Amino acid sequence: MTQNSSNLQPSGQVPADFAQVFAVCRVEPVRRGRVVSGILLPHLEPGSPPVRELFARWEGSHAVRKGAFGYEVLLFEPERRRERWWLHLLLFAATLFSTIVAGALLAGRYPLEFTALYLFDGWWLPVPISLDPGALVVGLPFGLALIGILALHEAGHYFAARRYRITVTPPYFIPFPPYISVIGTLGAFIRLRSPVLSRRHLLDVGVAGPLMSFFASLPVLWWGLLHSRVLSTAFDPPSLYLVRFASERFWLGGSPIVVAMTRLLVGMPPAGHTIELHPVAFAGWLGLFVTALNLLPISQLDGGHILYALLGRRQRVLAWAFFLTLIPLGFLWPGWWVWAALVFLVGRGRIQHPPLFDAAETLNRERIYMGLAAAAIFVLCFVPMPFRI
C-alpha cells in the first residue's frame, strides 16, 4: 500500500457498496485474479459491522494493517477455475500403485515381470509383461501407510488455507518408478492460487502440514517397530537400521525420535546386531524424515513460512545459514546437495522468504508456541546421514 492517497484512486471498476467502507480504494487485475486495496473510512475499524460484513461475503482472502492514513485493507479475489479432478485422481492412483509395488519389493516380493524392448544401438526399455496380485497384497501396508502420511500432510495445508479463504489446489501426488526411487514416489504438493497476506495466516498454513505428518508418522512407526526384527551381522553394522529392497540393502540413520522409540519398544541391539525395519516402520521413518525436510527454514519450504511468520525479515539470516549448512552435510549424504539445488530452483534463486502485505502483524502467544513446537519437531526428526548403501 502506498503512502500517497492520490495513488489510491480507483483504477478499475469498484463495487458501489465499497463507498460505505472505504475512503479510497482501487481495483487492479493481477495474475490469477484481482486485488482490491483501500483505506477504511476514518470512523471504521476492522471489527466494525460494515467491515465484518464485507469480509464475510468476500470470496477470497483479506488482510488489514495499520498505516499512516488509517487502516489499510487488501482483498484478493481469485479467478474462477474448474479443478481438474481427473488429473488429481489419476496421479493419486498411479502413486498408490507405485508405492504398493515398492512395498512388495521391500518385503522381498517381485510383483512385476519385465522383458526388454530393444530400441537402437544397444538401448532398451523394460516393459512389464505380468503382474503378481499376491505380491501387491504384501506391498499394501507400506503403500497405504506412506500415502496416508503424505495425504495428511497436504490435507493440513489445504484445510488451513481454506479456513482463510486462500485458494489452493487439491494435492498433486508424484508417482515414480519404484525400481529407481525405492519408495515409489517423489512426494506430493499443493499449489496456492492466491497469496498469503499476513503472518498469522502464513504460520497457520505452514505449520499445519508438518504437525499432521509428524503425528501421523508416530503410530505408523510404533506398529512397524513392533514388527521389525533384530539381526546378527558378521560385521559391525554402519548404522542402527537396515532396509532390504529386492536384492539390495540400505542402512538408515536414526533421528532422535526414532532412536527414542526404538529404545522404548525394541531396545537397543547389542554390538554386531542391527534392526531390520518392517516396511511399515520404514514408512513411518520416511514420514518423519520428510517432515524434517519440509521444516528446513529456507525459502518457500514449510520451515521458511514458519520462521518468517515468527521473525519477519530476520528469517533471512537463518535461512542462509541453514542453506549453507547443507553444503558440508552433502559430504555425509549427497542427497543434501540435490535438496539444496531443488530449493534454490523452486525459489528462483531466493533463499529468504518473500515479504508479506501485513508483515508487522503481532502473533499471539498460542501461535508462537506452535512455531516453537515446529522447531522442536524439526530437531526430533532431523538426521544428518539418512541413507547409506
Q: What is the pLDDT of residues 110-151, one digit of tens each?
A: 888 877 777 776 677 677 788 889 999 999 999 999 999 999
Q: Is 247 part of any domain? A: no
350 in the same domain as 203: yes
Whether 271 contacts 365, CB under 8 Å: no
Q: Count other Cβ atoms within 10 Å, centred on residue 300.
A: 17
DSSP 307: H
Measured distance between the N- and C-terminal CA atoms of the chain, rounded to whole angstroms: 54
Instruction: Locate 252 and state its grid cell.
Output: 538408515
Cα-based angle 353, 354, 360 (whole degrees, multiple of 5)? 95
99 in the same domain as 18: no
Rounded Cα gap, residues 300 and 291, in angstroms: 14
Rounded Cα gap, residues 210 and 50, in angstroms: 37
Residue 64 pLDDT > 60 = yes
Q: Is 278 part of any domain? A: no
Distances (CA, A) of 339 to 321, 329, 346: 15, 11, 10
Q: What percent of the chain has pLDDT over 70?
A: 94
Q: Is 210 part of any domain? A: yes
302 in the same domain as 206: yes
The pTM of the full predicted model, rounded to 2 decimals, is: 0.87
Select from 47, 78, 109 the last residue of a domain.
78
131 in the same domain as 110: yes
Distance of alpha carbon 186 from its chain centroid, rounded? 12
Q: Is 270 part of any domain? A: no
Q: Is 272 part of any domain? A: no
295 in the same domain as 199: yes
The position carrying cell 497457520 is 204
Q: Is 194 part of any domain? A: yes
Rounded Cα gap, residues 36 and 196, in angstroms: 15
Select from 48, 78, 108 the last residue of a domain.
78
Q: What is the extent of the structural domain holding 50?
A: 5-78
pLDDT per residue as tens digits for the range 3-51: 333 333 344 555 667 878 888 888 887 777 788 888 888 888 888 888 8
Q: What is the pLDDT of residue 90?
A: 97
- Find the CATH number of the domain harbouring 46: 3.30.780
pLDDT per residue as tens digits for the range 155-192: 999 999 999 888 899 999 999 988 888 999 999 999 88
Distance of alpha carbon 211 from its chain centroid, rounded? 10
Per the DSSP assignment, residues forming a β-bridge with 25 are: 38
Q: What is the pLDDT of residue 226?
A: 96
What stretch of H or E contains 209?
helix 199-226
Into how many domains does the chain fold? 2
